[in-house]
Amino acid sequence: MLDFYDVAWDYEPRAFAIEWDDAGEPTKYFRPDFYLPDDDLYIEITTMNQKLVTKKNQKIRRLRDLYPEIRCKVFYQRDYLHLLVKYELAEPDDVTLPTAPTRIPGPVEVTNLADRDADVG
């Protein structure tokens, strides 16, 4: 699809260290699936079972904590299947869409409604 729309991309061009041993040597890496250089954006596609998705989400959260300047967009199985239907690569009846994730990886944002209401009044 990226080629069809003439979007420049590289496949797994960079690995980011996300864990180190006591000597400071990297022991675990995260390598996003695609890099879109024109948008300076990494893309990770996750179409695996939920147990593996949870582990991948942990890696993505770690990436965001360690490298806040790196932009990484995650496409879940549901997103991928929607794209298949949108671009007529599959019929809607042929695709069973999984439920959407209840939490997108990233920092938790807490809003104190009492403070917000006080500012309004």
pLDDT digits (tens, 9 = 90+) for 94-121: 656 555 555 555 555 555 566 555 555 5
Residue 82 main-chain phi, psi, to 5 deg: -60, -40
Q: What is the reported pTM? A: 0.68
E strands along the chain, which residues?
Answer: 10-11, 16-20, 26-30, 34-36, 41-46, 72-76
Domain of 27, in residue numbers: 10-120
Instruction: Tell me whether residue 4 is in a domain.
Output: no
Instruction: Tell me whether residue 101 is in a domain.
Output: yes
Instruction: Tell me whether residue 1 is in a domain.
Output: no
Instruction: Tell me whether residue 69 is in a domain.
Output: yes
Tally of domains within the chain: 1
Q: How far is it between the farthest Cα atoms of the chain?
A: 55
Instruction: Tell me whether residue 2 is in a domain.
Output: no
Contact 41, 34 (CB under 8 A): no
65 — pLDDT class (breaks 50, 70, 90): very high
| Strand 34-36, strand 41-46: pairing | antiparallel
